A and B are shown apart, each in its own frame.
Chain A
């Protein structure tokens, strides 16, 4: 319910602010805090669509657009790496950090935004893999914090490894998806849009749309592949569009070990942590 009278002042009664730059810095950090809160809130809203009744597509699209907008702005500002600190530092819930409503709603000068490649790319979540299975959705719900946390760290690695610079086209990145180097990091960092893709994906009736392996698909058409899709998503394996059950057995072995390709020691420890978290969640 809408809470009454909980407006908090933007400036917390700092009377002795004579230094303009200090004020400016406070404003800026306050703004980015609130922007961060908005991002957190939006991601949580997107996650919490998994009720028994189909969620509202319009609402999901609007929230997703807001998330994209924030991401673009944060990329533009170069403050995307701050996602980690904000998320994993305090562990507070987003609503607690929502300080004041005015600042975030305040109008802001927008420069003409160049078409930026969003740091979080929309990849790997093809429709065929997204099955309207509640377990699939509920797994991703519990993944929220850990995955977004990872997204931040991945973002850091991203910048360092220069794998896909901000200038690169989205199409070019499509090709690089097959590149193993990008795979794991991308898989880990696509928490947000993966969710968005999932959310939109659940709206789609799962048709037997002919994929690249249509013959293979026909062969295994009666096999329930939903569980295998779950595995492929969790292990971040983006290469195969849709694997038959036998293919998956081969890939199950290395799935839980640390991926071999990391660019910095930072990422390796983070990936170990990811595996650990995944194991707990999946309960394997």
Chain B
């Protein structure tokens, strides 16, 4: 596959960066229309951005498009303490998933290691005025001063965004929740921890169904954990989960109540030539995503992203090298724990491009049709707002070009783990530590 070719056709523009107060962003997610973008951080806060709509009646100018501004901020999870184990429960938001919109309000699920919460985000731009028994400040009126009755009327006020917790799904997980996924039926969702997957009904908080349990009878026999899980986008009975051994299991809930036995298992046989002590660690799947079509799966392990066809279990149909130059550095990366970093991966809206993060504030995009990959950088110092992003390259041999970065100069503390792609347009949101970058493809503002 071609690597890092300069693609003059792609014209990426840098809109703006948002600094989120020194808190590291731990998850990013667009809603189904792309108008709202939610980020969760290590401090348990959720920040929702809203895309500005163009003024009514005016056609969109070429090059102008809605920017994302802060819509609401709220504290989703607080630090907690598990008294039984004498351990703190982190308030870090691991995942946010939006529910499909059904009325004027928006709903999202946010989860930390143990508890999932359903939040209702609603707008209020009117308030009732003219109460009989209360005055304008809300104090009870002296009843003797009331001489006549009136009907309260709704008066417009400044827009207020209210966020309220509607459901709290607690005590469902012994281990750390790594994934949540809303079902296409609109009524249920799954939550996955290291060893179990539960299915919840959105309206019921005191009960959940355990659908996968891989906990061995003896914990010392534990060799494999669940790393990610997701429902199929169209079939409400299918879901997939990935493991630390690099396998994907597709489960059909119609087959049995407990889906420990998979319907299909996707596994690539190990390459004996590349075997080392780190083979298993780098094969661990850190993220799995269904394509929008529902036909393909996208997985990320430490060095590659792979596309799998649901109809073919024996191996991926496409493999892209994200940073193969790190293969000789695995021991150092094991030493400094970077080898355990969990990168996410995303599809674009048409499933033709896939994207994932890397180190040194780099992220990679792969065009599935041409097989070519490009490296981009999410770093404030090298970009101004509305500037065109230039492609970057890591020097791995051959002719060294200006601007190439040597492997030993890579900054492993600047990792791009979390990202999201707009569901309809070529707009991407990249989380770089405590900064959020939003990029838009100006040439192809809408999809072909």
User: A7-B408, A65-B223 given as contacts; is B90 within 8 A of A53 (CB)?
Assistant: yes
Q: Which of B219, B273, B408, B412 has the most CB of A within 10 A?
A: B219
Q: State how many angstroms separate the Cβ of B374 from the closest Cβ of chain A.
A: 24
Question: Among A101, A108, A201, which residue has its beta carbon within 8 angstroms of that of B329?
Answer: A101
User: A1-B413, A41-B334 given as contacts; is B276 within 8 A of A106 (CB)?
Assistant: yes
- Considering the chains assembled together, what is the distance between the CA atoms of A105 and B329 in angstroms? 8
Report yes or no: A202 in contact with B85, Cβ–Cβ below 8 A: yes
- Considering the chains assembled together, what is the distance between the CA atoms of A119 and B276 in angstroms? 21
Question: Among A62, A105, A122, which residue has its beta carbon within 8 angstroms of that of B244?
Answer: A62
Report yes or no: A204 in contact with B219, Cβ–Cβ below 8 A: yes
Residue of B at shortest CB range from A95?
B335
- Considering the chains assembled together, what is the distance between the CA atoms of A95 and B337 in angstroms? 13
Q: State how many angstroms separate the Cβ of B354 from the closest Cβ of chain A.
A: 23
- Considering the chains assembled together, what is the distance between the CA atoms of A201 and B333 in angstroms? 27
Q: Which of A41, A57, A108, A196 has the most CB of B within 10 A?
A: A57
- Considering the chains assembled together, what is the distance between the CA atoms of A52 and B88 in angstroms? 6
User: A1-B413, A4-B408, A107-B275 given as contacts; is B176 within 8 A of A61 (CB)?
Assistant: no
Q: Does A236 contact B (CB under 8 A)?
A: no
Report yes or no: A205 in contact with B85, Cβ–Cβ below 8 A: yes
Name the A residues within 8 Å of B332 (CB-CB).
2-3, 101
- Considering the chains assembled together, what is the distance between the CA atoms of A206 and B82 in angstroms? 12
Question: Among B88, B218, B280, B413, which residue has its beta carbon within 8 angstroms of that of A66?
Answer: B280
- Considering the chains assembled together, what is the distance between the CA atoms of A4 and B284 in angstroms? 26
Q: State how many angstroms separate the Cβ of B425 from the closest Cβ of chain A.
A: 34
Report yes or no: B409 in contact with A57, Cβ–Cβ below 8 A: no
Q: Does A149 contact B (CB under 8 A)?
A: no
- Considering the chains assembled together, what is the distance between the CA atoms of A107 and B328 in angstroms? 10
C-beta contact mask, B386-424 vs A, less than 8 Å → 1, else 0? 000000000000000000000011101100000000000
Report yes or no: A56 in contact with B335, Cβ–Cβ below 8 A: no
Report yes or no: A5 in contact with B408, Cβ–Cβ below 8 A: yes
Question: Among A57, A95, A134, A197, which residue has its beta carbon within 8 angstroms of that of B176?
Answer: A57
Name the B residues within 8 Å of A1 (CB-CB).
336, 412-413
- Considering the chains assembled together, what is the distance between the CA atoms of A28 and B344 in angstroms? 39
Report yes or no: B220 in contact with A196, Cβ–Cβ below 8 A: yes
User: A57-B176, A201-B219 given as contacts; is B244 within 8 A of A108 (CB)?
Assistant: no
Q: Does B71 contact A (CB under 8 A)?
A: no
Name the B residues within 8 Å of A196 (CB-CB).
220
Q: Does B149 contact A (CB under 8 A)?
A: no
Question: Among B88, B274, B280, B333, which residue has its beta carbon within 8 angstroms of that of A62?
Answer: B280
Name the A residues within 8 Å of B338 (CB-CB).
2
Q: Does B327 contact A (CB under 8 A)?
A: yes
Report yes or no: B219 in contact with A197, Cβ–Cβ below 8 A: yes
Report yes or no: B331 in contact with A38, Cβ–Cβ below 8 A: yes
Name the B residues within 8 Å of A171 (CB-CB).
none
Q: State how many angstroms separate the Cβ of B85 from the closest Cβ of chain A.
A: 4
- Considering the chains assembled together, what is the distance between the CA atoms of A45 and B277 in angstroms? 16
Q: Which of A34, A196, A203 has the most CB of B within 10 A?
A: A203
Residue of A at shortest CB range from B339?
A62
C-beta contact mask, A16-46 vs B, less than 8 Å → 1, else 0? 0000000000000000001100100100010
Name the A residues within 8 Å of B328 (CB-CB).
101-102, 105
Q: Does B74 contact A (CB under 8 A)?
A: no
Report yes or no: B88 in contact with A61, Cβ–Cβ below 8 A: no
Q: Which of A59, A102, A125 has the most CB of B within 10 A?
A: A59
- Considering the chains assembled together, what is the distance between the CA atoms of A59 and B225 in angstroms? 10
- Considering the chains assembled together, what is the distance between the CA atoms of A4 and B360 in angstroms? 13
- Considering the chains assembled together, what is the distance between the CA atoms of A98 and B89 in angstroms? 35
Q: In residues 305-334 of chain B, which contact A (Cβ within 8 Å)?
A: 327-334
Residue of B at shortest CB range from A102?
B328
Report yes or no: B86 in contact with A134, Cβ–Cβ below 8 A: yes
Q: Does B1 contact A (CB under 8 A)?
A: no
Q: Does A253 contact B (CB under 8 A)?
A: no
Q: In residues 265-285 of chain B, which contact A (Cβ within 8 Å)?
A: 272-278, 280-281, 284
Q: State how many angstroms separate the Cβ of A120 from the closest Cβ of chain B.
A: 11
C-beta contact mask, A95-135 vs B, less than 8 Å → 1, else 0? 10010011011111110000000000010010100001110
- Considering the chains assembled together, what is the distance between the CA atoms of A110 and B328 in angstroms? 19
Q: State how many angstroms separate the Cβ of B445 from the closest Cβ of chain A.
A: 39
Name the A residues within 8 Å of B88 (CB-CB).
52-54
Q: Which of A65, A104, A202 has the most CB of B within 10 A?
A: A65
Report yes or no: B220 in contact with A61, Cβ–Cβ below 8 A: no
C-beta contact mask, B328-364 vs A, less than 8 Å → 1, else 0? 1111111111101000000000000000000000000
Question: Among B244, B274, B329, B413, which residue has its beta carbon within 8 angstroms of that of A61?
Answer: B244
Q: State how many angstroms separate the Cβ of A141 from the closest Cβ of chain B.
A: 16
Report yes or no: B408 in contact with A58, Cβ–Cβ below 8 A: no
Name the A residues within 8 Å of B337 (CB-CB).
45, 59
Name the B residues within 8 Å of A56 (CB-CB).
176, 340
Question: Among B175, B330, B413, which residue has its beta carbon within 8 angstroms of that of A203?
Answer: B175
Q: Does B230 contact A (CB under 8 A)?
A: no
Q: State how many angstroms separate the Cβ of A232 from the closest Cβ of chain B.
A: 17
Q: State how many angstroms separate the Cβ of B90 from the closest Cβ of chain A.
A: 6
Name the B residues within 8 Å of A38 (CB-CB).
277, 331, 334
Report yes or no: A108 in contact with B276, Cβ–Cβ below 8 A: yes
Name the B residues within 8 Å of A58 (CB-CB).
194, 225, 227, 244, 284, 340
Report yes or no: A132 in contact with B278, Cβ–Cβ below 8 A: no
Report yes or no: A66 in contact with B90, Cβ–Cβ below 8 A: no
Report yes or no: B335 in contact with A41, Cβ–Cβ below 8 A: yes
Q: 21 pairs across A/B with beta carbons < 8 Å? A: A4-B408, A34-B331, A35-B277, A38-B334, A41-B334, A53-B89, A54-B82, A57-B176, A57-B195, A57-B225, A58-B340, A61-B244, A64-B223, A66-B281, A69-B277, A101-B329, A107-B273, A110-B275, A127-B218, A197-B219, A205-B84
Known interface pairs A2-B333, A56-B340, A105-B278; 10 further A-B residue pairs with C-beta atoms within 8 A, sorted by A's residue number = A57-B194, A59-B340, A98-B335, A101-B330, A127-B219, A134-B86, A196-B220, A202-B87, A204-B219, A205-B85
Which residues in B have some Cβ–Cβ distance to A below 8 Å?
A: 82, 84-90, 113, 174-176, 194-195, 218-225, 227, 244, 272-278, 280-281, 284, 327-338, 340, 408-410, 412-413
- Nearest 6 pairs of A and B residues by beta carbon: A101-B331, A200-B219, A132-B85, A2-B412, A57-B194, A122-B220
